[in-house]
Amino acid sequence: MTGIRPWLRERSELGVCALLLVLGALVLGDVLTMDVDIEQRGPVGPTTMPTVVGVALLVVAALLAVDVLRGGRGEAEGGEDIDLAAPGDWRTVLLLAGVFLGNAVLIEPLGLPASGALMFWGSAWVLGSRAYHRDPLIAAVLSVATYVLFDSLLGIPLPGGPLMEVL
C-alpha cells in the first residue's frame, strides 16, 4: 500500500481527469433525463449543446489520462510578477466568495440589475480598485447591459426586480 501513494503523488493530474470524467457523466446523465417536447424542437434541439459539452469533457479526461500515464507532467506556474513561495491570499478569496454568495441571495428580491451592480462593484473593491467615483457607475452599466443582453436580446427571462418596474 505504501507504493501506491508515491505513484499517485507523481500523477496528481489524474485527479483532474477523474473530475472531468464525473462532470462529463453528470452532464450526459442530465441530457438523457431531459424532458424534450418534440413540437418545441428546431433543427438543433435543446440537448445538442449539453451533449457536445459532455462528450468533450469525457474526451479531454481520456486524453489527459493517457498523457499523464505516459509520463506527461503539468508545468509548474512560471509567473514573472508573482512570488510562488508566498501563501495564497485567502482574505481576498473569501471576500470574493462572499460577494458572489451575496449576489445569489440578493438576485431574487433586488433583481439582476441591482444585485449584479453590487456584485461587480464589490468584486472590483475586493480586487483593489479604489476609484470610488467610477466603479459604481461602471458596475451599474455592466449590470444593466448584462440584463438587457440576456433578458431582451437572448430571450432568457431574468428577475428585473423593483427597479425595472420604475423604468
Q: What pLDDT, in 10s, does the model give residues 109-164? A: 999 999 999 999 999 999 999 898 999 999 999 999 998 888 888 888 888 888 77
Does residue 9 sit in the same domain as residue 38?
yes
Predicted confidence at residue 152, as pLDDT, reads 82
Question: Which residues span the domain enclosing 40?
Answer: 4-69
Predicted confidence at residue 89, as pLDDT, reads 85
User: Region 74-80: what's the mean pLDDT?
Assistant: 65
If you search the block for the grid coordinates 462532470, which residue do you land on? 23
Closest C-alpha among 122, 112, 100 to residue 163: 112
**37 vs 87, which has greater pLDDT?**
87
For residue 30, give the C-alpha cell.
442530465
Whole-number average pLDDT of the chain: 85
> How many Å from the N-terminal Cα to the C-terminal Cα in the chain?
66
Task: Please state the domain count of the chain.
Answer: 2
54, pLDDT greater than 70: yes
Does residue 55 sit in the same domain as residue 99?
no
Closest C-alpha among 127, 79, 75, 77 to residue 99: 127
